[in-house]
Amino acid sequence: MNYRHAFHAGNFADVLKHVVLTRVLVHLCAKDKPFRAIDTHAGLGVYDLEAEEAGRTGEWHDGFGRLETPFAAEVEALLAPYRAAVEGVRARHGATTYPGSPAIIREHLRAGDKGVFVELHPIDAETLAHRYASDSRTKVMHLDGWTALNALIPPPERRGLVLIDPPYEERGEIDRLGQSLLKAARKWPTGIYLGWYPIKDLSAVDRMAATLDAGLERPALRLDLMIERPDDPTRLSGTGLIVVNPPWTLAAEAEQFLPALAERLARTGYGAFRCERLGPEG
């Protein structure tokens, strides 16, 4: 799977990833102590939904585009930080833009917090560095994301998160995600980890989740969002996140926003979700 993000910005996978990311950032901001947010596969940070790439696929219409109609009040309360982050980015970059995860993170950084954005593609890394050059809270690194995951933890701050969001261009990267989460959680046990994955071959995700359930020494959540029946392993039918050391409120929150998103973003009448505990408290 080649996941060059400019073609997919604002799609259903972004919606889930960024809603969960904002819920974790809200949790980190609830305490005065500073935190560090590390994005291992950062991309460009901001995307124009009217640009050629996004226009060629039009995926955002069936993702962020379907969120125009409000949800029930309790779901809207959980989505409010996500919506606010999108509006904050659009206020600076234009009404047709959509934030990548670096921009979502930047919207939540306070004076003492740090954001580290890692990108391997040289042109994208240069663009990202130029975009955030004036913000002393952020740092952009031109580096392989998997290498950065090992090199950048533990950070000086005890609190923080790591978002692992690879493009899945190589075989076996879902298994690699599981093994990397196991190693990282041992190296920085107080960090919160968000590992994103596409769902095409559901058995690969199940295998990774089973490995984590057996091997993690910390609690975790598996959050899946299905928008089509997972009966064709060549088709992107869903997306998900493994959250290691999730905020204590996240499971209950996910059980509210996941069914709402599954219903709203479903294709051909099929939408489903999973909120499953993994690890020692699974």
How large is the average pLDDT for residues 48-59? 74
The pLDDT score that the predictor gives to residue 216 is 97
**Range of weakest confidence among 24-28, 259-263, 267-271, 272-276:** 267-271
Q: Is 165 a catalytic residue?
A: yes
The mean of the pLDDT values for the chain is: 94
Question: Does residue 58 surpass a pLDDT of 80?
Answer: no
Which of these CATH numbers, 3.40.50.150, 3.30.420.40, 3.30.460.80, 3.40.605.10, describes 20-46+109-281?
3.40.50.150
- What would the pLDDT profile of 59-99 be if each residue is shown by its tens digit? 899 999 999 999 999 999 999 999 999 999 999 999 999 99
Q: Tell me which residue of 40, 104, 75 sits closest to 253, measured CA to CA.
A: 75
Strand ranges inside 84-219, DSSP E? 97-99, 114-119, 138-142, 160-164, 192-199
The pLDDT score that the predictor gives to residue 2 is 41
- Give the β-pairing of 36-39 and 114-119: parallel
- What would the pLDDT profile of 257-269 be if each residue is shown by its tens digit? 999 999 999 998 8
Q: What percent of the chain is modeled with pLDDT above 70?
A: 95
Strand partners, 39: 117, 163
Annotated catalytic residue within 62, 165, 201, 224 = 165
